[in-house]
Amino acid sequence: MLLSQLPNGAHALVDHVFSGAPEVGSSTVQRLEELGFITGEPVHMLRRGPGGREPLAVQIGETLFALRLVEAQSIAITIPEARPDFGKA
């Protein structure tokens, strides 16, 4: 599943970042990883822009990011099995 497909308010774990579109080169992949989008890191989809579009507001740790749709489509995620403590600060 891709981060761009995660519903508002949902939690997941970053699986990996990849170059999924021509607009997302190795420098963008590296920047996303440097920002904290690394394997195993919890991510929370907060909300989307007007009309459910860009930007996508996501939280990694204590940091809030606004991502373009093409960036969110380059972040593969997994949704862990139901755990009562997952996604709670």
Average pLDDT of the residues of the chain: 91
Provide the domain limits for residue 11.
3-78
- pLDDT confidence tier of residue 1, bands split at 50, 70 and 90: very high
> Is 62 among the domain residues?
yes
Structural domain count of the chain: 1
Paired tokens of 5: 């497909």
> Is 85 among the domain residues?
no
pTM recorded for the entire structure: 0.87
> Is 87 among the domain residues?
no
- In this predicted structure, the answer to whether residue 17 has a pLDDT above a threshold of 80 is yes
Contacts of 9 (CB under 8 A, 6+ apart): 44, 45, 46
Q: pLDDT digits over 18-29, tens only?
A: 997 888 899 999
> Is 86 among the domain residues?
no
Lateral strand order in the sheet of 75-78: 63-67, 56-60, 42-48, 11-17, 75-78
How far are the Cα atoms of 12, 17, 54, 67, 78 from residue 48, in angstroms, in the given order? 16, 20, 6, 9, 20
Q: pLDDT digits over 41-71, tens only?
A: 999 999 999 988 899 999 998 999 999 999 9
User: What CATH number corresponds to the domain at position 67?
Assistant: 2.30.30.90
> Is 31 among the domain residues?
yes
